[in-house]
Amino acid sequence: MRRRTGNGTKGDRHYDWALIHVLADDAPVDRDKAGHAFLVVRRHRYTRQLSFYRCHSTTPVSLAVLVNIICTRWKIEEDFQGAKGLAGLDQGQVTCWTSWMRWSLISLFAAAVLAVTHAATRTANATEHGLHLAPASGRELLAILRITALPTPRRDLEHALHWSAWRRHHRHQATEAHRRWNNITAAATT
């Protein structure tokens, strides 16, 4: 099956697709009880690079349906990459489930706001000073948000020295706490 599968971040996607029915790893030979397993092979028309997708279904499905699902997955992966780069989804330094969940929720909310705003700029006929404008990208929207809504950071010497002293004080406290804990642990094990 030859198919153009939409635009990606690097332009049009032109691929050849093939479907192979396979048995699931743990499936008996009886296909009626074990469901359906497929291997979908994708070959780029120009580079000839191959990609493989292992798919499972409880009912028989066509190659076109599987290709649509795979292409939908690409869009989801691109959205997550955007959320990582623009909304800091991958920058949370958390140590427990609750804080990880909060960070992820805030990051995904920020990504959703950027996506909705991007969609609104795509549908509007953007003209400024008689010029037609391309839709604002996520990075462009983030730059506008930083300029218009977020306060500029303080850069005066007194403020910088205050936070430097605060960080060094807390680093000292953490070092002392670790040293005490190591001494207690060493005394308990000897």
Q: What is the pLDDT of residues 85-105, one digit of tens each?
A: 888 888 877 778 888 888 888
- Taking 80 as the threshold, does the pLDDT of residue 131 lie above it? no
Q: Which helix (H) or strand (E) holds 157?
A: helix 157-189
Token readout for 101 is: 């969940």
Confidence at residue 11, expressed as pLDDT on a 0 to 100 scale: 60
Confidence at residue 40, expressed as pLDDT on a 0 to 100 scale: 92
C-alpha–C-alpha distance, residues 81 and 95, integer Å: 22
For 74, counting Cβ atoms within 10 Å of its Cβ (0-12 exposed, 13-18 middle, 19+ buried), the class is middle
Residue type, 134: A
- Taking 90 as the threshold, does the pLDDT of residue 111 lie above it? no
- Taking 80 as the threshold, does the pLDDT of residue 110 lie above it? yes
Q: Is 3 helix (H, G, I), strand (E, B) or coil?
A: strand
16, 41 Cβ separation under 8 angstroms: no
pLDDT one-digit tens code per residue, 42-63? 998 888 899 999 988 888 899 9
- Taking 60 as the threshold, does the pLDDT of residue 7 lie above it? no
Return the higher-pLDDT residue of 66 and 187.
66
Confidence at residue 52, expressed as pLDDT on a 0 to 100 scale: 93
Q: How far is CA 15 from the centre of its chain?
A: 24
Number of H helices, E strands in the chain: 5, 6
C-alpha–C-alpha distance, residues 97 and 94, integer Å: 8
Reported as a pLDDT band with limits 50, 70 and 90, residue 183 is confident
* Residue whose C-alpha is closest to residue 1's, from 72, 77, 66, 47: 66
Confidence at residue 130, expressed as pLDDT on a 0 to 100 scale: 65
Confidence at residue 1, expressed as pLDDT on a 0 to 100 scale: 62
Token readout for 179 is: 């040293």
Confidence at residue 8, expressed as pLDDT on a 0 to 100 scale: 57
Token readout for 93 is: 């330094």
| Whether this model's pTM surpasses 0.75 | no
- Taking 80 as the threshold, does the pLDDT of residue 71 lie above it? yes
- Phi/psi at 16 (5° precision): -105, 140
135, 121 Cβ separation under 8 angstroms: yes
Confidence at residue 168, expressed as pLDDT on a 0 to 100 scale: 92
